[in-house]
Homo-oligomer: A and B are copies of this chain.
Amino acid sequence: MKLYSYFRSSASYRVRIALNLKNLSYEYVPVHLVRDGGEQLKSAYRQVNPDAIVPAFVDDEGHTLQQSLAIIEYLEEMHPEPPLLPKSPADRAHVRSLALQVACEIHPVDNLRVLKYLKHTVGADDATKDAWYRHWIEAGFATLEQRLAGDSRTGKLSFGDTPTIADLCIVPQVYNANRFKIDTTRYPTIQRINDYALTLDAFARAAPGVQPDSE
């Protein structure tokens, strides 16, 4: 198994946590998103993933998979233990919706290529671009906090006390928030979940700072 990854990419970070939780070893293939205008845009990588984003995952049979949540659902189906989704369909929908709230409502709007377009095509200055980045995290975290704090299923983590795909999305997004110095103490449940998750080995080993391509 092979993971095309960039240490800071939060979508890659999600998959790294899943692989660690499932106790799967894999080859780490770094794709530098910034150097030389971005290795993800070169034809070598576009042959792996035409969408020119990380991660991409190659399984033992040579299937190339893309989109972090599709990869994680695949890992869940192929390697069910430990489960990253609860048992009942309603609970599974709850956990998936928490994950998707990060993956669809926050992360894409702050994606590198969106920020580049905002700067170079729309002509936004750096202050406007940084405010944009913070705005979508803050708006998304405010409702995510409300949902997590108001739900009896929330435990030490987003759903009970063991990791689910919701935590796999939340922790990398908190990493991004911290990079941009967002005051996450305003989201105490998110903060608490993040802090607890990072005490777990699978999360700690997936962190950007300890990846082979970390700078």
Pick the residue among B97, B108, B121 that contacts A66 (CB under 8 A). Answer: B97
The closest CB in chain B to the CB of A106 belongs to: B108
Interface residues of A in 23-61 (CB under 8 A from B): 50-53, 59, 61
With contacts A70-B96, A97-B65 taken as known, whether A89 is within 8 angstroms of B108 at the C-beta atoms is: no
Chain A: interface secondary structure? helix
A117 at the interface (CB under 8 A from B): yes
With contacts A59-B90, A73-B96, A92-B73 taken as known, whether A105 is within 8 angstroms of B105 at the C-beta atoms is: no
Oligomeric state, in copies: 2
Bound: A74/B90 CA distance, A: 7
The closest CB in chain B to the CB of A146 belongs to: B50
Pick the residue among B67, B105, B147 that contacts A101 (CB under 8 A). Answer: B67
Bound: A124/B121 CA distance, A: 11
Scan A143-166; emit 1 where CB is below 8 A from any B CB, else 0: 100110000000000000000000
B contact residues around A131 at 8 Å (CB): 121
By size class, the interface of chain A is 35 or more
19 cross-chain CB contacts under 8 A: A50-B147, A51-B105, A51-B147, A53-B105, A61-B90, A66-B97, A67-B100, A69-B100, A70-B96, A70-B97, A70-B100, A73-B92, A74-B90, A74-B93, A77-B92, A78-B89, A109-B109, A117-B132, A122-B128
Pick the residue among B101, B135, B143 that contacts A117 (CB under 8 A). Answer: B135
Pick the residue among B77, B94, B107, B114 that contacts A89 (CB under 8 A). Answer: B77
The closest CB in chain B to the CB of A142 belongs to: B50
Chain A interface residues toward B at CB < 8 A: 50-53, 59, 61, 63, 65-67, 69-71, 73-74, 77-78, 89-90, 92-94, 96-97, 100-101, 103-105, 107-109, 111, 114, 117-118, 121-122, 124, 128, 131-132, 135, 143, 146-147
Bound: A16/B78 CA distance, A: 30
